[in-house]
A and B are shown apart, each in its own frame.
Chain A
Amino acid sequence: MSAPTCVAITGLDTYWGTHLAERLLERERAPRIIGFDLHRPLRLAGRVDFHRFDLTDPIADAELAHLLSSEGVEALIHLAFRTSPTVDVEEDHELETIGSLHVMNASASAKIRRLVVASSTMLYGPRAVNPNFLSESHPLSGHPDAHCVKNRVEVERLVSEWALRHRDTEVTVLRSCWAMGPGHADYVSRYFERDVVPTILGHDPLLQLIHADDLLDVYEEALIGSHPGVFNIVGRGVLPLSTLLALAGRRRLPLPASVLYRASSQPSQGQTGDRPAAFFDYLRHLWVADGERGWQEFGEPVYSTRETWMSFVGSRKLQAYR
């Protein structure tokens, strides 16, 4: 399949959707972009065909299928996921799992030729007995207490089943690790922005990061080029949490795990905000993914884990001076 002339982006009003659309528009032969979201992204006004769309609507699949086939969409990237976990478990399930199901059903009906789904290496789950590098074939254990992760594991299962049934569609699943970048903010970056960062006493896991620009490059390439399969999208190198915080000049507050979990289950008191207690397990055990396949397929990322972190820290410092 040659480069698509018309692509669709679900979740256009997210950081990833907006920036991906801008990148695609800057291309020499820019494809037509159809965007779906609940809100119109103002910075893209007039440059994309925006459709206000609610994926949690019970008949969303039929509507979406109609829109996709009438617009002649060839490739779709599914980015309509939450950037931060929510306490509303039901709503979370509706958007992440059912919403993805609707997108897949509509894609099948509209005979989309390429489907790209954003996923995360968090789905492997933090486990003390993980191997140091998790390959794409490692089972997705998720985390028993994190609904956001559980739903995404379910989404991946649905996608892989869907891919088996629709063999003439190229399906790409991109599992990215924590993405950091100057303009990007989510619950992970907010955690690292604190002056005093609570960590778990006695644990110092290795972490890997990917720069938001590198991840956008991969999204763009996955949508334009032909790269079927499942890929870990991570930066080169790993760094321990303690080194990350020391490089940023942030103070570490090591707390016993039980105290930290209890504090984060009461967001108002623990001031841990929108992070569920399960988040801290990702700062306790290893969940580093092996990025070799992704690097071979999409090329070497520009930023290593360390450079990503320094760029993130530098941008946040500038913001503080402003």
Chain B
Amino acid sequence: MTDRDQAPDDNVIPLRRHRRRPAPDFDEASIDALRDALEDLRNQIRSRLPEADRVSAGEPGIDWFGLFDELRSRISTLGMRERSVEIDEFGADAELLIRTRPLLDWMSGSYWRIEVQDVDRVPATGPVLFVANRSGLLPYDGLMLAHIVERMIPGLGRPRHMLADGLITLPFAQPFLARMGGIRACRENADRTLRTGRSLIAFPEGAKGATKTFRERYRLKRFGRGGVVRAAMDNHVQLVPVGIVGAEEAHPILFKSHTAARMLGLPFIPITPTFPVLGPLGLLPLPTKWVVVFGDPIELCEPSDADDEELIISRSTAALRDRIQELVDQGLDCRQSVWD
């Protein structure tokens, strides 16, 4: 015979036993007192309200017609609040840029603590074609560089930054990037921007730069087909090399996944320390320390012979790439670590 078979003993206390709370033991008098206190409180609140509100608060119903009118006017202007009335010919939204300026200030000043070097090398006037190394998946480097130029070289105005096709064709991102002053990287757009006297930021590495893995960081890729040099020559603008350090680690791509990407129809899925693990939150960049180094404007020699033009352009492009690599290395030396 085991203990189980025995009838429950009153002496044995079950391990878990729900102890029932005693029911609230209110008598009629205390409930009445509570009700009186509530009414008193309500009267006190009402007496403190201004006259107009007291009337409506005292009325049992709500002013449905007023509410409806309010709602209708809200809906009809819905979307107009966050939309500026005029946008420029490339779709940049001046009002949005002004509104996001404090955020960009905070990002450049506090989040990435951007250290700007040799900004006095940049010519103070005239359209300038900035050429920088592209890094990081999302175009934070273009945004930040445009912001820095706007803030530190007031004579130039805000330059537009050029975006690779992979970004500018991305649904959802495209309208936003265009409103923030990004344009598709192509000769027609570059010529038009420079012709109208506006400065421009180009990333000749293009998508190759944005998608390099962490192992290849700060090693510049091939520089397109010389379109940057050609655009500067044809439009007679100065070419300013810029090295950007830090954006690379904001989105370090550990490796690229091609198998899963093929199923989703994407070129590849970047695997960063945060991205697929933290979901959309992983798209936020890491708060690395940034250094932006401006170089001296590069003098371009006009080709005397049309046949030599291609060679001169490719030689200038290679020299430009070397110059930016030097600036990047200089920026890397200034940093103690990735974080400061």
Contacts and interface: CB of A to CB of B under 8 A. Distances in A.
Interface of A: 128-129, 131-133, 135, 201-204, 206, 237-240, 242-243, 246-247, 249, 252, 306
A247 B87 CA distance: 13
Given A242-B79, A249-B76, A129 B169 contact: yes
Interface stretch (B138-146, B183-191, B236-244, B302-310): B183-191
Contact of B89 (A133, A203, A246, A306): A133
Given A237-B89, A238-B91, A243-B87, A129 B175 contact: no
A309 to B, nearest CB: 12
B79 A246 contact: yes
B165 A135 contact: no
Contacts of A131: 184, 186-189
Main secondary structure of the interface of A (DSSP, over half): loop
Contacts, number: 61
Contacts of B171: 201-203
Interface in B154-213: 165, 168-169, 171-172, 174-175, 178, 183-184, 186-189, 192
Interface in B119-156: none
B106 interface: no
Q: Which 10 A-B pairs have the closest CB atoms?
A: A202-B171, A131-B188, A204-B175, A128-B169, A202-B172, A246-B79, A249-B76, A131-B186, A206-B91, A132-B189
Interface of B: 76, 78-80, 83, 86-87, 89-91, 165, 168-169, 171-172, 174-175, 178, 183-184, 186-189, 192
Given A240-B91, A246-B80, A133 B168 contact: no
B186 A128 contact: no
Given A202-B175, A203-B174, 5 more contacts: A129-B186, A203-B175, A206-B91, A238-B87, A252-B79
Interface centre among A203, A238, A243 (most CB of B within 10 A): A243
B91 A129 contact: no
Q: Interface centre among B80, B86, B89, B178, by most A CB within 10 Å? A: B89
28 contacts: A128-B168, A129-B186, A131-B184, A131-B186, A131-B188, A131-B189, A132-B91, A132-B184, A132-B189, A133-B189, A133-B192, A201-B172, A203-B174, A203-B175, A206-B91, A237-B89, A238-B87, A240-B91, A240-B175, A242-B79, A242-B83, A243-B83, A243-B87, A246-B78, A247-B80, A249-B76, A252-B79, A306-B86
A206 B89 CA distance: 9
A132 B169 contact: no
Nearest to A284: B171
B284 to A, nearest CB: 20
A301 to B, nearest CB: 15
A129 B187 CA distance: 12
Contacts of B79: 242, 246, 252
Contacts of B90: 132
